[in-house]
Structure 1
Amino acid sequence: MATKQVKGVSAKFSGEVLAFIRAFTDGLVDNNVSIFAGAGLSASLGYVNWKELLRSVAEELGLDIDRETNLVALAQYHLNERRNRSELNRRIISEFSDIRKPTTNHEILARLPISTYWTTNYDRMIETALEQANKIADVKYEVRQLKKTTPNRDAIVYKMHGDVEHPDDAVLTKDDYEGYFRKHEPFVTALSGDLTAKTFLFLGFSFSDPNIDYVMSRVRVTLHQAPKQHYCIMRREQKKAREKNADFEYRKHQQSFLIKDLARIGVHTLLVDGYEDITRILGAIEQEYRQRTIFISGSADDFAPWKMEIANQFIAGLSQALVEKKYRIVTGFGLGVGPSVIAGALAPILRDKRRYRQTQLVARPFPIAISDARERRKAYQRYREEMIGLAGIAIFLFGNKRKGDDIIDADGVVAEFDIAFEQGLKVIPVGATGHVAAQLWRRVTDDLPAFYPDATVGFRRSLYALAPTSILPDPGAFIQAVVKVVEVIRSNA
């Protein structure tokens, strides 16, 4: 599935937000982050917030929902009067049972290598987004599910307050919250462990969310002495239509106290002006993470004018240099190029397992045992899209194959270039390796604004150092030239 990067993520952020993006991406690389999603994450889909969910309930009790602040108590009042929660259950089913397309935020989060999601939401947007990202979600909304493990799972989704299909068991009233520690103690234990070990990003919460006090109290109890650094993205209070200045200033004052209280327990709050800013930040995180992964495309039956030994030395050395700079390498094992990519990447990984990880090399040989030509083309297209979708930068080397007695252009390398550009990757054709790579280098440099609209003088100079040439470059120096282009791209991201 193509995963084109979110537009606009290159827009400038404050130093505070940039520091968060880099720190959170470091956590992604280390598989050490978790998401906690509140009701606001699904609000843009049309799902009601708590006030709207309970509006008819308040009217039945003769109360004004807009004047109520303790909505958990309001749900309890209704239960006290009715002696059953059928109306509350009906509201949950009515509002959350229809499946809607996940938001861009859900889609980005699902694509990222996040293995643990926590949510107080009843809806199934996280599970749906994970499924669309071809990931297997192990969903847990009942205590008995905690002792079971879904085979080959990619992520665990903890739904602390229940699931839309089981409204009788949803955590909604004061009775539910007061009995939560007793009935759902294993959830609290699991959450406490994750809060201690992982960096959380809280999304969709506000000080008016009735769940936040309960969630934050768990953080406070667990991490009261030396809290781990967590983050929360929160929308800055906005003045409502016809709202009095005094009321607006009061709400801003409330928010400032909440932010200070969150800081006390290790949660750093990033304020944004609009919900679209959250999408921009998540998109920048995805871009930052993907640009730490480099797809190396190439094939060669003939390395001329390079000597085969020198070409293999260059390819292996480039792959090794990138791994040593903590990049992850993705390769489709292209003819003549793939073995050297793998050998170079494995050298530091096997030499120093403390500094480098096996996960820094992703090798995906093509499924060649497909006899039908049409089906093989379709399969290769999907395979390429999925493989290239893992990366943020793509390097193109050589690009030829043998047909009978002739050496012809490798159409697969051209296809991978087109896919990479469509998906928003930064493309680096190494023109000096000749063949298709030289053609692609000219294609990029002839229309540089289309590929690098913000290209600096320094970047242009670095890219032109990879130009096609009749003089065989020194492999060591040329490796550094290619790495420099990568580093310039990263520094300008």
Structure 2
Amino acid sequence: MRKEISRFIDNYFAEMVAGNAAVFAGAGLSVPAGFVDWRNLLRPLADDLDLDIDRETDLVAVAQFHVNAHGANRHKLHQAVIDALSADNPPTKNHELLARLPISTWWTTNYDKLIETSLKQAGKIVDVKTSVPQLANTRPRRDAIVYKMHGDVDHPSEAVVTRDDYERYELDRGTFLNALGGDLVSKTFLFLGFSFTDPNLDYVLSRLRLKFKADQRGHYAIFKKRSRLKGEDDDGFEYARIRQALVIEDLKRFNVKAVMIDDYAEITEILEELSRRYRRQSVFISASAASFEPWGEAAVFDFMRQLGKALIANSAKVATGLGAGVGNAIFTGALEQIMEAKAGHIEDFLAIRPFPNVIPDNAQRRAIWDRYRREIIHNTGIALFLFGNRDVQGTIKSASGMEKEFEIAKEEGLFLLPVGATGSTAKSLATKIANSDIDSKYLNQFLDLQKPTDDLLTLIGPIVELVTTIREGK
């Protein structure tokens, strides 16, 4: 990955973790989902006017021309919006990756529902704003707010499309501009699929530039380097390339930094890296024990409690299903550290997911447990496996649940960290990981955690150090 992109990821990730990240989505984000861009949305209207939409540069004017030609009747315009965008197309992978990130502020000029759909599918409570009156209302316990500043496909008569609409925008929907201005001051935006030809955004950015001058907050926009289109001659390609460079240079006036990519697939790679880093801030702990040999129950409990405290003290978020025998000890230590440090809310550092047991039907219980495990693990990035044994009618056996969690974590791409020194299933899982599966920069630390020990407490430092190194991507 190029240094420019790596630097952007570092900076934007820091803003995400701090709760300061926002996204502004343009039509380019929706096109891969099967929706048309602005040009193709207006194509049938241009045909009505005997215009070649591919030769037009002012698409807002084309929409206005069509309304003018029909005596201010907007029916065909509204129908074009409905026909082009009302399909129930599923969100793209990029939408899904974005929705999983800790981003609570979303802006878009798109009319489709891909953003709010992807956020809901990610289990988030979404507050959608498509009209001025909605700005005064707040949905309880919302996780994300989506400002659809040009309207929504369900209300095409209110969509901002024509030049008349843009000229009246400050009068009719000016509160959106004020809200956007506030977010551009307090949030770091990532512009995706946006061409920076919208006059409303230009108006807001210009006001902020004049007001804050050299103190403007920095933002980012991803651009694909202009490549030659099919059938494009040398002059046409050179002209487009020069114009893109000038647009990018002009954005510097608004402190918007361009992140250049060679192919749209790189956007997915960037979002996957942001997702991986975010997930690795959370550690899934799989642990259970019915036998505490050779250390004894008190020593095992103390180890788990001290490990929980140490992980939280080093800013990791702990997710656990409270495994039998030892789960409460890890929870106790984590909770103690959170309450002592008073550094935030309990849910900011601890995700407790005890398994539902009162399900009489065995097959149904197993099916629910499998889905439950997958949901917990999907939201984490490091999987820590400790001990792993159970009592079956007086006989100590391996923990089959831990083995299933290992396989799920492997499928989900987590960093697998079985601590073989704790014995039982954790030890057998460690043997399944070939040295080639571990990044060489972590290998020695990983191997140290597989060596037998008489004192479990000596494992805490190395475990926390390795988890911290992985989380920070060092």
SS in 1 for 2:223: strand
Contact 1:431–1:467 (CA under 8 A) maintained in structure 2: yes
Does the CA contact (< 8 Å) of 2:295 and 2:455 recur in 1?
no
Instruction: State the alpha-carbon separation in 2 of the partners of residues 161 and 33 from structure 1.
Output: 22
- 1:385, CA displacement in angstroms? 0.8
Structure 1 residue 320: Cα displacement: 2.5
* Distance 1:203-1:396 versus aligned 2 partners, 3 A rule: same
Match of 2:359 in 1: 370
Give the aligned residue type for 1:326.
Answer: S
For 1:262, give the aligned amino acid: L
- Cα deviation, 1:373-430, whole Å, max 9, x if unaligned, reads 2222122111111111111110000112223322222222111111111111111000
> 1:220 and 1:381 mapped to 2: Cα distance?
52
Is the CA contact 1:35–1:200 (under 8 Å) kept in the aligned structure 2? yes
- Work out which of the residue numbers 190, 200, 207 in structure 2 matches 1:214: 200
Cα distance, 1:343 vs structure 2 = 2.5
> What corresponds to 1:462 in structure 2?
445
The number of equivalent residue pairs is 470
- Confirm or deny: 8 A CA contact 2:419 2:430 kept in the other structure: yes
Shift in Å, 1:491: 6.0
Aligned to 1:439: 428
Cα contact 2:119–2:126 (8 A) shared by 1: yes
1:356: how far off?
Answer: 8.4
Alignment match, 1:30: 18
Write the deviation string for residues 239-261 of structure 1: whole angstroms up to 9, x where unpaired: 12332323322222222222122
Residue 490 (structure 1) shift: 4.4
- SS of the equivalent of 2:33 reads coil
Q: Distance in 2 between matches of 1:492 and 1:72?
A: 46
Counterpart of 2:405 in structure 1 is 416
Pairwise mapping of residues 47-446 of structure 1 onto structure 2 (< 5 A)?
47-83=35-71, 84-207=73-196, 210-211=197-198, 213-222=199-208, 224=210, 225=212, 226-354=215-343, 358-444=347-433
Structure 2: gaps (5+ residues): none
Q: Distance in 2 between matches of 1:369 and 1:223?
A: 60
Find the counterpart in structure 2 of residue 472 from structure 1: 454
Aligned residues of 1:349 and 1:358 also touching (Cα < 8 A) = no
Q: CA deviation at 1:354?
A: 4.2
Distance in structure 1 (CA, Å) of the matches to 2:12 and 2:345: 19
State the alpha-carbon separation in 2 of the partners of residues 168 and 262 from structure 1.
Answer: 32
Task: Output one character per residue of 1:29-56: Cα deviation in whole Å (capped at 9) or x when no partner.
Answer: 2222111110000111221111111223
Which secondary structure state, in structure 1, belongs to the residue aligned with residue 429 of structure 2? Answer: helix
Q: Deviations over 1:126-145 (max 9, x none)?
A: 12212322333222212222
Q: Among all aligned residue pairs of Structure 1 and Structure 2, give the percentage whose two residues are the same amino acid.
A: 43
Following superposition, the deviation at residue 219 of structure 1 comes to 2.6
Mean alpha-carbon deviation: is it higher for 27-36 or for 89-98?
27-36
Q: CA deviation at 1:443?
A: 1.5
CA gap of 1:488–1:154, structure 2 versus 1, over 3 A, is closer
The code of the aligned residue for 2:159 comes to A
| CA displacement 1:49-99 (0-9 Å, x = unmatched) | 111112232233233222221111121111111121111111111110111
* Shift in Å, 1:289: 0.6
Structure 2 Cα separation of the partners of residues 41 and 349 of structure 1: 39
Query: Would you say 1:16 and 2:7 are equivalent positions?
Result: no
Change (3 A) 1:398 1:270: same
Q: In structure 1, how many angstroms separate the alpha carbons of the residues matched to 2:472 and 2:74?
A: 56
Q: Which has the higher contact order (CA 8 A, sep 6+)?
A: 1
CA contact (8 A) 1:434 1:468 kept: no
Alpha-carbon distance between aligned partners in 2 of 1:298 and 1:182, rounded to the nearest angstrom: 60
- Which residue in 1 is equivalent to 2:467? 486
Decide whether the 8 Å contact of 1:199 with 1:228 is kept in 2. yes
Q: Name the SS for the 2:355 alignment partner.
A: coil
Partner in structure 2 of residue 5 of structure 1:
none
Name stretches of at least 5 consecutive residues in structure 1 with no aligned partner. Answer: 1-12
Question: After alignment, is 314-323 or 432-441 more displaced?
Answer: 314-323
The alpha-carbon deviation at position 460 of structure 1 amounts to 2.2
The answer as to whether partners of 1:438 and 1:468 remain within 8 angstroms in 2 is no
CA–CA distance in structure 2, aligned partners of residues 262 and 326 of structure 1: 36
- TM-score of the superposition, structure 1-length normalised? 0.90
Q: Which residue of 2 aligns with 1:4?
A: none
Q: Is the 8 A contact 1:196 1:223 kept in 2?
A: no
Given that 2:300 and 2:456 are in contact with CA atoms closer than 8 Å, whether structure 1 keeps it comes out as: no
Aligned equivalents of 1:300, 1:474: Cα separation in 2: 14
| CA distance in 1 between partners of 2:243 and 2:404 (Å) | 55
Shift of 1:156: 1.6
C-alpha displacement of 1:358:
4.6
Could you tell me how far apart the structure 2 residues matched to 1:357 and 1:234 are?
Answer: 40
